[in-house]
Structure 1
Amino acid sequence: MEFNDLKIFQTVATHGSISKAALELNYVQSNVTARIKLLEKELRTPLFYRHKRGMILNPEGKRLLEHARQILSGMDEMIRTFEDTSNPSGVLEIGIVETVNALPDILSAYYNKYPQVELSLKAGVTDRLLQDVIDMKLDGAFVSGPIRHPLIEQVEVIQEKLVLVTKGETFSIEEITKRPLLLYNKGCGYRERLESWMKSEGIVPKQIMEFGTFGTIIGSVAAGIGITIIPESSITDLVVSGTVFCHNVPEPYHEITTIFIRRKDSYITSTLQCFMDEIVARTRLEHEPLPESR
């Protein structure tokens, strides 16, 4: 068995397709097919269920995928240990929830210091990004916290105030039973806070409409379709212009903490370490007291 066979296998498993895997790896399809068949022959077991539209891992394939991820991740870490720590480069894959207000400043400072690093950003909800960090699909992620997981290390980035957002200036809690809630998909930290509040008040929403992007949610609120919950800092300009209006969320549901997470047992590359240093620097700056006037 060759090391590259595991990489081919993992790519096919990810895409569920020989053709898509071949395209990503820049191989001919026949070569990918041959390597998969050879791998199955060496292991003396089929690894996929094959059907007209692609391939799905069978139980043995799923078992091999876990081993393949560990081996490939270990190889990547070994290579990274020899990187030039004074001049980070390569790809850094970071997950984000879309309303991280501190992110532009962190990215700007990092880009200016380390222009050779290619930052790849993946937007998603907290639960999905957490799983991607655990599975080592991401180097780290900005999510809603705190997170309690034995494999996760976390750094607090910023605390923000959650607000309900509507098109109208006035609001009463009964409106939640009359108008749709416009929320991110399940696994969003903001949504969990709102659902906890509604449960404590015995409120059953009229309807929940799920969206994948901040722009779609806030645009739909501005159009009068429904109500949402998001950090107040993410809509300051829209509130000033009168496009939407904010309404308070009661304690203990009104605060949300954004944290940066990484898998604690993974090797910290110089690229990731420098990124985390920028996060810590930003956090310290946020908490520094203002100079006294004289």
Structure 2
Amino acid sequence: MDFRKLRYFEAVATERNLRKGAERLHVAQSALSRRIAELEQELGVPLFDRLPRGLRLRPSGEVLLAHARRIIADVEQARSAVEASANMIPRTIRIGLVSRVGQMEFITRAFRDMSAAFPSLSTEMPIYSHSTAVLDRLSSGDLDIGLMYRPVPDDDHCRSIILREFQPMVVLPNSHPLTQKELLTPDDINGEEFLLFPRRIDPSYHTTLVNAFHAAGATLTVSQEIEMEEVRLGLVAAGMGLSVASSSLLERPHPAGIVLRPLADMKFRTNLVAAWRPQVESLVMDTFLAHCRTKEKDDAICLDELAKRPN
């Protein structure tokens, strides 16, 4: 006994008339008559008495009608519940991010627009020092969304999209002679001392970054490892060495006294990724991610132009 036949039966039993039942269901009367006959044959009992002017339910039909109405109501309730869950607005959403991501204007705008769309929503925004911590918290269920600089494999536990792509750039003090060049060559920086983040913070990215410079023909001579980016950049501004930073630095506040320059033949790129757990997908999450991905033409950033700006 399939659900469609029950719906057909309920309509005919309620209207007590095949023609009216067909009109209500928007089906041909002949097709409806066949389905009712099939249902009676399947159950082995007649459900209606055929009268000159309409139909009359038999006792077997009365019993089936009561059950059919409950089943139809349950199915409609289940459908409504599923549709509501897809658009459910949670009380709180937990979005974890690497500290520097929260300084980008398009991310802060996404938070602002989400708050405007859902005024009653409470947002928790824990900040982490590196991407590995964000991914760990997301995997453990402590976060609904994670914004980080690392690839996230799509599987049953996680989904992800790329929001922006950035390239590594050389950070120079503004008094350095190399600031006169718009594009650096490997020979320009070979022999220079670099301030870099410790490998223990993110071993995979550290190795990838060093190898990317090597592939471009440059060698990173690391004189000091400093965990906090703000401190590294401050020391560069003070003339204590060069450093490497993502071109995302051009989209967020940074110390005065530094200049960023791209390196020729640098193929490596880092992606700013938004990742989430499929179990917590909601209208709120969809809205936030949509605002993160929106990139108005006027907001597009030309890295070359920004790199030339004086600091």
Q: What TM-score does the superposition give when structure 1 sets the normalisation length?
A: 0.56
Q: Aligned in 2, Cα 1:190/1:110: closer, same or farther, shift over 3 Å?
A: farther
Query: Deviations 1:60-100 (Å, cap 9, x if unpaired)?
Result: xxxxxxxxxxxxxxxxxxxxxx9895543225242325246
**For 1:203, what is the secondary structure of its paired residue?**
coil
Give the alignment of 1:265-284 within 5 angstroms: 267-268=279-280, 270=282, 273-284=283-294
2: CA distance, partners of 1:122 / 1:289: 25
Partner of 2:194: 180
2: CA distance, partners of 1:135 / 1:146: 17
Structure 2 residue 141 is the aligned partner of structure 1 residue 108:
no
**For 2:210, what is the secondary structure of its paired residue?**
helix
Equivalent in 151, 159, 162 of residue 153 of structure 1 = 159
Partner of 1:219: 234
Q: Aligned in 2, Cα 1:133/1:282: closer, same or farther, shift over 3 Å?
A: closer
Question: What runs of 5+ residues in structure 1 fail to find an aligned partner?
Answer: 1-81
Q: Which residue identity does 1:153 align to in structure 2?
A: R
Structure 2 residue 142 is the aligned partner of structure 1 residue 143:
no
Structure 2 residue 137 is the aligned partner of structure 1 residue 132:
yes
Give the alignment of 1:1-294 within 5 angstroms: 85=87, 87-96=89-98, 98-99=100-101, 101=104, 102-115=106-119, 116-148=121-153, 150=155, 151-167=157-173, 168-170=176-178, 173=186, 175=189, 177-183=191-197, 186-187=201-202, 191-200=206-215, 201=217, 203=219, 205-212=221-228, 214-235=229-250, 243-264=257-278, 267-268=279-280, 270=282, 273-286=283-296
2: CA distance, partners of 1:104 / 1:289: 13
Q: Which residue identity does 1:279 align to in structure 2?
A: L
Q: Aligned in 2, Cα 1:252/1:172: closer, same or farther, shift over 3 Å?
A: closer
Q: Which residue identity does 2:288 align to in structure 1?
A: E
1: CA distance, partners of 2:197 / 2:101: 13
Question: What runs of 5+ residues in structure 2 fail to find an aligned partner?
Answer: 1-83, 179-183, 301-311
Q: Aligned in 2, Cα 1:111/1:184: closer, same or farther, shift over 3 Å?
A: farther
Q: 8 Å contact 1:125–1:189 — kept in the other structure?
A: no
Range with bigger deviation, 195-204 or 131-140: 195-204
Shift, 1:157, TM fit: 1.0
Shift, 1:182, TM fit: 2.8
Q: Which residue identity does 1:120 align to in structure 2?
A: M
Q: Aligned in 2, Cα 1:107/1:244: closer, same or farther, shift over 3 Å?
A: same
2: CA distance, partners of 1:91 / 1:242: 35
Q: 8 Å contact 1:153–1:262 — kept in the other structure?
A: yes
Q: What TM-score does the superposition give when structure 2 sets the normalisation length?
A: 0.53
Greater CA radius of gyration, 1 or 2? 2
Q: CA RMSD in A?
A: 3.7
**For 1:154, what is the secondary structure of its paired residue?**
strand
**For 1:207, what is the secondary structure of its paired residue?**
strand
2: CA distance, partners of 1:287 / 1:242: 28
Q: Which residue identity does 2:147 align to in structure 1?
A: F
2: CA distance, partners of 1:123 / 1:208: 22
1: CA distance, partners of 2:252 / 2:97: 25
Query: Percent sequence identity over matched residues?
Result: 10
